[in-house]
């Protein structure tokens, strides 16, 4: 064998004294990419100073695996482990709440409302963002309607969304689907102007992108912000747009059609079983726009829930968020009697992970985790912790 002597005894010595704390920054980044759980990312950053410094310098990572929000405001992670929280979400004067991405939307007595970050360590009234304009719009909507009254309608809010993160600039817009989905209220988060409410039929009619099919009662299934515009999807698959600011639109808008079967003689909402999803992308370049069926989500995944829906980048790692998958948990109707007196309640409702590539549905969570969640005796919703 040919043996060449190269300058290298010093290099050999250096290589021999390997030290994990000196792992190069780009390798730290590669390891972080393979940690889909926020708890693991946080712990890696708490190992030693070099890892901590390098990990902080990494470019944005794919969002971590989402958590689950309980009705009492408790949070559990994807393994069913409780998440520490400093201030209880449900407290004096707060009657209900909705998970909004990484925030909690608190509903106060009557229709008052505010946003709070449940994970912020010094969670106090000072950290709360009150939304008096939104509450006003909801009040006016109730006064205008024949069916809803302030005293009798306990929880007017169905779903709440923000146009951009709360601390972003310019001031983000907050929109709420209210009154069982027949009205939408909108306001600025901090400014005192720009507020409104209405059913979609009141919206800037000339700008309506309409899918063929009539929406007599304008029952809205979902709302979403895209580039400053607010879109509403009706249960008849009509798409309406509301433009508080006219920004150039270059994003994508998807509609998910969910097919489910339920046994004969069973109430809708009790034993629903989703067996197929169809995903459509809105072609916004035409008027009226058209839904185009798509076979993939282009490296993304969708989290579907009754209140909180999110389109995220897939993690591209083992155990992380898988691309072209729809993670769903859903309950058509809340059935409190079953929840409180029934023998058991599936905390995830009709749930699973639908893979668009092979059209298979796999369980959303391992059996052991679901067993833990069963003890909570309530239906859960998604909560998306922010990785900072």
Binding site for other proteins (CB under 8 A): 1-9, 11-12, 15-16, 18-21, 23-24, 26-27, 30-31, 34-35, 37-40, 42-49, 52, 77, 81-84, 119, 121, 317-318, 385, 388
Whether 323 and 299 have beta carbons less than 8 Å apart is answered as yes
Shortest Å distance, C-beta 268 to other proteins? 37
- Residue with Cβ nearer other proteins (83 or 208): 83
Q: How far apart are CA 335 and CA 271, in angstroms?
A: 12
Shortest Å distance, C-beta 65 to other proteins? 12
Shortest Å distance, C-beta 296 to other proteins? 23
Whether 223 and 161 have beta carbons less than 8 Å apart is answered as yes
Cis preceding linkage at 76, omega within 30: no
Shortest Å distance, C-beta 118 to other proteins? 10
What φ, ψ does residue 379 adopt, rounded to 5°? -80, 135
Whether 218 and 182 have beta carbons less than 8 Å apart is answered as yes
Shortest Å distance, C-beta 132 to other proteins? 30
- Residue with Cβ nearer other proteins (27 or 371): 27
- Residue with Cβ nearer other proteins (46 or 247): 46
Q: Specify the length of the chain in residues.
A: 388
Q: How far apart are CA 65 and CA 366, in angstroms?
A: 14
Shortest Å distance, C-beta 250 to other proteins? 33
Shortest Å distance, C-beta 5 to other proteins? 4
Shortest Å distance, C-beta 168 to other proteins? 21
- Residue with Cβ nearer other proteins (264 or 388): 388
- Residue with Cβ nearer other proteins (43 or 110): 43
Shortest Å distance, C-beta 11 to other proteins? 4
- Residue with Cβ nearer other proteins (44 or 226): 44
- Residue with Cβ nearer other proteins (34 or 293): 34
Shortest Å distance, C-beta 119 to other proteins? 6
Whether 242 and 235 have beta carbons less than 8 Å apart is answered as no
Q: How far apart are CA 345 and CA 11, in angstroms?
A: 63
- Residue with Cβ nearer other proteins (121 or 150): 121
- Residue with Cβ nearer other proteins (82 or 363): 82
**Residue 149: HSE in the Cβ half-sphere, 13 Å Cα cutoff:** 2
- Residue with Cβ nearer other proteins (16 or 125): 16
* Residue 318: Cβ within 10 Å count: 8
């Amino acid at each position: 064998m040919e043996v060449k002597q190269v300058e290298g005894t010093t290099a050999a010595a250096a290589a021999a004294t390997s030290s994990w704390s000196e792992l190069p920054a780009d390798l730290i980044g590669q390891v972080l990419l393979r940690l889909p759980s926020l708890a693991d990312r946080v712990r890696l950053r708490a190992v030693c100073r070099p890892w901590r410094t390098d990990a902080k310098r990494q470019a944005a990572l794919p969002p971590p695996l989402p958590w689950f929000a309980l009705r009492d405001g408790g949070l559990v992670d994807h393994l069913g482990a409780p998440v520490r929280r400093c201030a209880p979400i449900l407290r004096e004067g707060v009657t209900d709440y909705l998970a909004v991405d990484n925030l909690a939307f608190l509903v106060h007595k009557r229709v008052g409302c505010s946003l709070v970050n449940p994970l912020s360590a010094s969670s106090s009234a000072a950290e709360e963002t009150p939304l008096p304009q939104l509450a006003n719009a909801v009040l006016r909507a109730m006064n205008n309607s024949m069916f809803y009254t302030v005293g009798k309608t306990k929880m007017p809010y169905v779903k709440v969304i923000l146009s951009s993160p709360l601390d972003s600039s310019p001031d983000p817009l907050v929109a709420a689907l209210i009154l069982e989905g027949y009205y939408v209220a909108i306001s600025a988060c901090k400014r005192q102007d720009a507020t409104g409410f209405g059913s979609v039929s009141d919206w800037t009619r000339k700008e309506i992108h309409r899918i063929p099919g009539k929406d007599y009662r304008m029952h809205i299934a979902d709302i979403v912000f895209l580039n400053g515009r607010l879109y509403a999807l009706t249960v008849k698959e009509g798409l309406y747009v509301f433009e508080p600011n006219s920004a150039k639109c270059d994003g994508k808008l998807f509609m998910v059609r969910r097919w489910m079967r339920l046994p004969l003689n069973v109430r809708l909402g009790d034993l629903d079983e989703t067996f197929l999803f169809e995903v459509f992308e809105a072609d916004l370049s035409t008027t009226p726009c058209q839904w185009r069926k798509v076979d993939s989500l282009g490296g993304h995944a969708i989290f579907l829930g009754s209140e909180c829906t999110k389109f995220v980048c897939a993690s591209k790692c083992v155990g992380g968020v898988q691309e072209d998958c729809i993670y769903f948990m859903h309950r058509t109707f809340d059935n409190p009697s079953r929840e409180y007196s029934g023998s058991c309640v599936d905390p995830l409702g009709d749930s699973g992970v639908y893979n668009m590539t092979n059209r298979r549905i796999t369980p959303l969570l391992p059996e052991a985790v679901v067993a833990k969640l069963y003890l909570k005796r309530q239906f859960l919703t998604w909560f998306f912790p922010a990785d900072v």
